[in-house]
Amino acid sequence: MEKFNISGEYIHLNQLLKVIGWVEDGAQANQLIDDGHVKVNGEVEFRRRNKLFPSYNVAFNGKKVEILASEAE
């Protein structure tokens, strides 16, 4: 499982997919979310701008990432 440190309190789901390189752009991220291909904490997530906090897990296409708080906080 990958790990991703966020610098703020949270990151939006569609932003995360772009930042970690799972999609090429925001339109692709939004379409995959709309089509039910992305899971957050084991549940299919349809909210594009769902707020992801530290300890959340995101899965897509056989890949998984855990959200962590930044070390600086």
Taken in order of first residue, the domains within the chain and their CATH numbers are 9-55 (3.10.290.10)
Q: Nearest-CA neighbor of 17 among 27, 29, 9, 28?
A: 29
């990958």: which residue's tokens?
2
65 backbone dihedrals φ, ψ, rounded to 5°? -140, 140
Of 10-14, 26-30, 67-71, the range with the lowest mean pLDDT is 67-71
Q: Give residue-wise pLDDT tens across range 13-50.
A: 999 999 999 999 999 999 999 999 999 999 999 999 99
